């Protein structure tokens, strides 16, 4: 049984994240979306809100679970008995940071491997930060995020 973790802040989840979730859930037996609690940056949405939105957005995907975590990713992977970490790569700008993190994680826990999926081209420009910026200025974000997020951002911006 292959269990994988897809970790991130998901503040909020975008259609780019959803693309990686859907594609990786077809490759592994069980996918755990790990929602990072202790963020250096102050998130727009609390971890509870981010988890709730992800659960709603992934409810049709039967082998996907959403779990919050804090601390080291490799410790979370071990606790969940997951041997694989999935990350998404959008552009070369993601690469340097992802490489550093992956190699550090591999030193900490050689049994956990990181696999990268490259983004589908239509989402390669998309980030949670851009979505928040567009929403702040009243722009339409319906083509960037799941429905549940559109509603939640509207509420936040009120």
Which positions are annotated as active-site residues? 17, 41, 90, 128
Residue 119 near ligand ADP by CB under 6 A: yes
User: Looking at the chain, how many residues does it have?
Assistant: 158
Token pair 């409810």 is at which residue?
A: 59
Residue 132 near ligand ADP by CB under 6 A: no
Of 21-29, 52-60, 70-78, 121-129, the window that binds ligand ADP (rule: CB under 6 A) is 121-129
Taking alpha carbons only, the member of 56, 53, 117 closest to residue 85 is 117
Among 52, 61, 68, 127, binds ligand ADP (CB under 6 A): 127
Q: Tell me the CA end-to-end span of the chain in Å, nearest whole number.
A: 45
- Determine the angle formed by the axes of helices 47-57 and 147-157, rounding to 10 degrees: 150
Q: Between 52 and 71, how does the x/- string for binding to ligand ADP read (CB under 6 A)?
A: --------------------
Q: Are 30 and 57 in contact (CB under 8 A)?
A: no
Of 62-70, 72-80, 123-131, 134-142, the window that binds ligand ADP (rule: CB under 6 A) is 123-131
Residue 8 near ligand ADP by CB under 6 A: yes
The Cα angle at residue 29 between residues 94 and 9, in degrees rounded to 5? 35
Q: CB-wise, 25 or 128, nearer to ligand ADP?
A: 128
Q: How far is the CB of 62 from ligand ADP (least distance, A)?
A: 21
**Side-by-side strand order, sheet with 3-8:** 64-69, 30-36, 3-8, 84-89, 113-118
Among 87, 105, 112, 150, binds ligand ADP (CB under 6 A): 87
Residue 44 near ligand ADP by CB under 6 A: no
């Amino acid at each position: 049984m292959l269990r994988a973790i897809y970790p991130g802040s998901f503040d909020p989840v975008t259609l780019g994240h959803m693309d990686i979730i859907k594609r990786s859930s077809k490759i592994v037996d069980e996918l755990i979306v790990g929602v990072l609690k202790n963020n250096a940056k102050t998130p727009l949405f609390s971890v509870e809100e981010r988890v709730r939105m992800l659960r709603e957005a992934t409810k049709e995907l039967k082998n996907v679970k959403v779990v919050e975590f804090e601390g080291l990713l490799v410790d979370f992977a071990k606790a969940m008995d997951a041997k694989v970490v999935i990350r998404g790569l959008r552009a070369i700008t993601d690469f340097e940071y992802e490489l550093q993190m992956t190699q550090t994680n591999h030193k900490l826990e050689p049994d956990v491997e990181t696999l990268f999926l490259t983004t589908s081209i239509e989402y390669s420009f998309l980030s949670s930060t851009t979505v928040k910026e567009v929403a702040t200025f009243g722009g339409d974000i319906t083509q960037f995020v799941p429905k549940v997020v559109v509603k939640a951002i509207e509420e936040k911006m009120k």
